[in-house]
Structure 1
Amino acid sequence: MTSPIDILDYYRRGGEHARLTGGVGRLEYLRTLDVLTRTLPPAPAVVLDVGGGTGVYAEPLAAAGYRMHLLDLLPEHAAAAAGRAGVTALAGDARSLPVPDGRFDAVLLLGPLYHLLDRAERVTAWREAARAVRPGGLVVAATISRYASLFDGFVKGLFDDPEFRPVVERTLADGRHLNTRPERNWFTSAYFHHPAEPASEATEAGLAVRRVVTVEGPLGFAGGRLNEILADPEQTALLLEMSRRVEAEPSLLGASGHLLTVAWRPGAADPVLDGTAHR
């Protein structure tokens, strides 16, 4: 990748897997799966999970009957994913997918876009996903909000380190969150999208955008109270139910740590995507 080397080091340390197991990461995981299960075509659809890491999302989707194929830039991630039930995996780059045209019913980009700091490379990744999916097939992509580091800086006390403020100032200016001190407990270098950007990139790549939704929403910055909610199954179920009600509210898009953009490849009937389950 053209982005800084600390990205690869971060993921080799297992940062992503650990991040999705508790707190706001757990909410991101549950909400992402919730959106996917309401958006993807019915199983046994064939799904390509690009940048899928060790298979954190591919495994539950495979268990639900999807035919999951995973690609990740890190060979060690692909090897770990290949050990999960129902998942095939190879090392591969989102900008040059080693797959035939139109092979998949859906393509997931749940990580690559926020580690490609140049717009042209992000559009290339979108375009490759569009090539790999069949006409009428879906592309679902995750991005990080432009304002995530600003909010996290206060919630997690990161502004206590005076070197964190320049990182946030740069991110607010041009979207580039550059981790100048990888030894700190900061997220690795990334591109943080303005809420209007993912749809613009997807459209430039030849896809038709149907919806952009929040993942965590503002509650992702609730701190310790969020842990209490997620520790209670009834409260967690209520949180997921109510989040569905407002996930596409435009005024909330900038107040979520992550967004999901749902698009499709033109050339067939418009897929049914109304936010309700297909099955």
Structure 2
Amino acid sequence: MMRPEILDYYQQGGERQRLTAGTGRLEYLRTRDVLARTLPAAPATVLDVGGATGVYAQPLAEAGYQVTVVDPVPQHVAVARTLDGVDALVGDARDLPAPDASADVVLLLGPLYHLQERPDRVAAWREAARVLRPGGLVVAATISRFASLFDGFVKGFFDNPAFRPIVEQDLADGRHHNPDDVPRWFTSAYFHRPDETAGEVADAGLTLRRVVSVESPLWMSPTALENFLDEPTLLLEMLRHVEDEPSLLGASSHLLTVAVR
């Protein structure tokens, strides 16, 4: 089951509009761009695990994919079910409501950074492997170990002295906690090092294909992004050149790991 503070965060609308503007918009556009270049052609079957209200499921369904959202938040599932071409079920990434070898793609664009214990994350990877057909792909999102450190300076969170211990804990072991439930700060999570998902993938019996940065360091310059997000062609084309660059991975707020069964 989802931790109570995480469930409450999303039930209260946490991050509902996050992907619609600024650096959240960059995350959304880049994730869409990576998926477009990675997924098999439609009408492949996609299981969007942790897909929330269907922000990625909807454009995939419109492109001809057969998409099912699986999410632990009933309110999210209710919204996703209203989208044309999208099915939606309440479920947990560690115990998916899907038969063996029934999907061509599993998206884990949220679950891994809300599973603080490694065995739980490996269980999610293994469930993805179970429901995939041979040759199927997993695309999984993680948050960088260093994201809250940078975020604290970019957004002024260090003005509150309670934020520093949170960052120090993040850096020490990746376990992120918001003990006072400050609304501006993220809820309980796990922040990965860039090379960490490789071991999780291997333990699940999958083969690592690539790890790419989503936003690159540009997410730390929200003002500079304003002139590029409405017409993002140049931005997306240039970031493709550096998305695999190992020396930049940790400076991106989010990473995408692609693995194959």
Equivalent in the alignment of 1:274: none
Equivalent in the alignment of 1:35: 34
Which string of whole-angstrom CA distances, capped at 9 and with x for unpartnered residues, describes residues 142-174 of structure 1? 000000000000000000000000000000000
* Correspondence list, 1:214-253, <5 A: 214-231=213-230, 233=231, 236-253=232-249
Please report how far the alpha carbon of residue 183 of structure 1 lies from its aligned counterpart in structure 2 after TM superposition.
3.0
Q: For residues 168 and 227 of structure 1, what CA distance do their matches in structure 2 show?
A: 28
Please report how far the alpha carbon of residue 15 of structure 1 lies from its aligned counterpart in structure 2 after TM superposition.
2.0
Equivalent in the alignment of 1:21: 20
Equivalent in the alignment of 1:113: 112
Equivalent in the alignment of 2:65: 66
Unaligned runs of 5+ in 2: none
Contact 2:2 2:72 in 1 (8 A): no
Q: For residues 52 and 88 of structure 1, what CA distance do their matches in structure 2 show?
A: 11
Secondary structure (helix, strand or coil) at the match of 1:220 reads helix
Contact 1:17 1:56 in 2 (8 A): no
CA RMSD of superposed structures (Å): 1.0
Bigger RCO of structures 1 and 2 (CA < 8 A, at least 6 apart): 1
Please report how far the alpha carbon of residue 2 of structure 1 lies from its aligned counterpart in structure 2 after TM superposition.
5.7
Q: For residues 123 and 131 of structure 1, what CA distance do their matches in structure 2 show?
A: 12
* Correspondence list, 1:71-86, <5 A: 71-86=70-85
Contact 2:146 2:171 in 1 (8 A): yes
Equivalent in the alignment of 2:128: 129
Please report how far the alpha carbon of residue 13 of structure 1 lies from its aligned counterpart in structure 2 after TM superposition.
2.0
Equivalent in the alignment of 2:176: 177
Of stretches 180-189 and 66-75 in structure 1, the one that deviates more from structure 2 is: 180-189
**Aligned partner of 1:182: which letter?**
D
Please report how far the alpha carbon of residue 80 of structure 1 lies from its aligned counterpart in structure 2 after TM superposition.
0.6
Give the percent of matched residue pairs that are identical in Structure 1 and Structure 2.
Answer: 66
Report the TM-score when normalising by structure 2: 0.98
Which string of whole-angstrom CA distances, capped at 9 and with x for unpartnered residues, describes residues 45-80 of structure 1? 000000000000000010011010110001111111
Number of paired residues?
A: 261
Secondary structure (helix, strand or coil) at the match of 1:142 reads strand
Question: 2:150 matched to 1:151?
Answer: yes
Q: For residues 259 and 15 of structure 2, what CA distance do their matches in structure 1 show?
A: 25
Equivalent in the alignment of 1:55: 54
Equivalent in the alignment of 1:261: 257
Q: For residues 106 and 251 of structure 2, what CA distance do their matches in structure 1 show?
A: 26
**Aligned partner of 2:241: which letter?**
R
Report the TM-score when normalising by structure 1: 0.92
Contact 2:47 2:106 in 1 (8 A): yes
